[in-house]
A and B are shown apart, each in its own frame.
Chain A
Amino acid sequence: MRIDMELESYLRPPDTPMPPYPAKVITLTTGSKMVVRQVFRDDVPKILPAVRPTLDIPRDYYDVVGARLYAELLAWYRYRYRDVFCIVGQIDGLLVGLVNSRMYSQETGISLHTLAIERGLRIGAHLFAAKMEHHIEYLGQDEVLITAESPIGFRRWMIEYGLELREGQHELGGAAPYGLTREMYFNSKHRLVAGERPVPQDLMEVARREIIVASEAAITEKILGAKRRKVL
């Protein structure tokens, strides 16, 4: 499909230079190692199939989160969303979770979404923390605005980080926005942010080589729990 680059120049947002997120590895309770690394526009087509199955899962608002995340990733890929970053978690290459967020201004970040595909391992908590780590420590921002669609995670973040209610609307236009400041982040960091750097080379190679996405059936099963055999 030929793109009219002259028209594109009106529609594409300028990209603010963003320092990269240095990858880290997290040891999970199962002993597995999760590589947490930034992915970029070109990786979006590989990631979208992981998000798609969530559109049919209303439980815990996976469908709303998934639909919006899908749209955000697609818009980012097609140069219609400004200053977005995306961090993924991979275990042996398999995509187990992802988060996205963007810079609203030099000082303010907007947290978008968190999707955990493997459940029960606090992957959502780890990746949400990585997102905040990037905003505050590597992008050098002063505050991140956060909201949520699902009650489970939201209340936890609000209490664990000691977030403060903010005026106005979050970009997602849902529940009120809460702010995470640099001070709150550094107060909570030892309790909430994990990981070691640098990532051992062999693990990094596997993660970079391919973002393995489980089948739609497998992802649905991971999120909803295994279909119980009739006898159980």
Chain B
Amino acid sequence: MITAYKCQHCGHVMYPYHYRCVNCGAREFETFAPSDKAKLLTFTIIEQLPWGFDERGRVLGVIEFTNKVRAMALVDVDADTDEVKLGMKLSVHWEPVRDNYGEKVYGLVCRPA
């Protein structure tokens, strides 16, 4: 699962890691895990994927967890039949998102909650 960072000085929440707080520049953070629920802030349906993907209709989005962490994620729906809507509620999992010549790469995978 991803690790999120909360600035000990100003409380700003960040992911991924920055050496200085995005908001105030301080350098001490507490780590925490995002929740397992999020909402969909925006998304796209990719028909033409980069090299390494032999598929079409891949849905990627920016999600916001219930505890304010934001991230990009794969939305596991059938782009041709299921409805993807802005603001929809999602459950978030840590699963393979890509196959790197046999090595599975893990990332955030969301499903309609």
* A/B: CB atoms within 8 Å of each other: yes
Kindly state the interface size class of chain B when it binds its partner. under 10
Asked if B55 is an interface residue, CB under 8 A from chain A, the answer is yes
Q: Contact between A158 and B54 (Cβ–Cβ < 8 Å)?
A: yes
Digitize B57-85: 1 where CB-to-A-CB distance is under 8 Å, 0 elsewhere.
00000000000000000000000100000
Q: Using CB atoms and an 8 Å cutoff, list the residues of chain B in contact with chain A.
A: 54-56, 80
Q: Does A160 contact B (CB under 8 A)?
A: yes
**Which residues of chain A come closer than 8 Å to B54, judged between CB atoms?**
155, 158-159
Number of A residues, CB within 8 Å of B:
6
Identify the interface centre among B55, B56, B80: most chain A CB within 10 Å of its CB: B56
Tell me how far the C-beta of B50 lies from the nearest C-beta in chain A, rounded to whole angstroms. Answer: 12
Interface string of A157-168 (1 = CB under 8 A from B): 011101000000
Residue of A nearest to B53 (CB): A159
Which 8 pairs show the lowest CB-CB distances between chains A and B?
A159-B56, A159-B54, A160-B56, A159-B55, A158-B54, A187-B80, A162-B56, A155-B54
What are some 8 contacts across the A-B interface (CB < 8 A)?
A155-B54, A158-B54, A159-B54, A159-B55, A159-B56, A160-B56, A162-B56, A187-B80
Q: Smallest CB–CB gap between B80 and chain A, Å?
A: 8
Inter-chain contacts of A159 with B (CB < 8 A):
54-56
Contacts of A158 in B (CB 8 A): 54
Please report which residues of chain A, range 88-145, place their CB below 8 angstroms from some CB of chain B when the two chains form the complex: none
Query: Complex: how many Å from CA A205 to CA B12?
Result: 70
Measured CB to CB, the closest approach of chain B to A36, in angstroms, equals 23
Chain B CB count within 10 A is highest, among A155, A159, A162, A187, for A159
Residue of B nearest to A162 (CB): B56
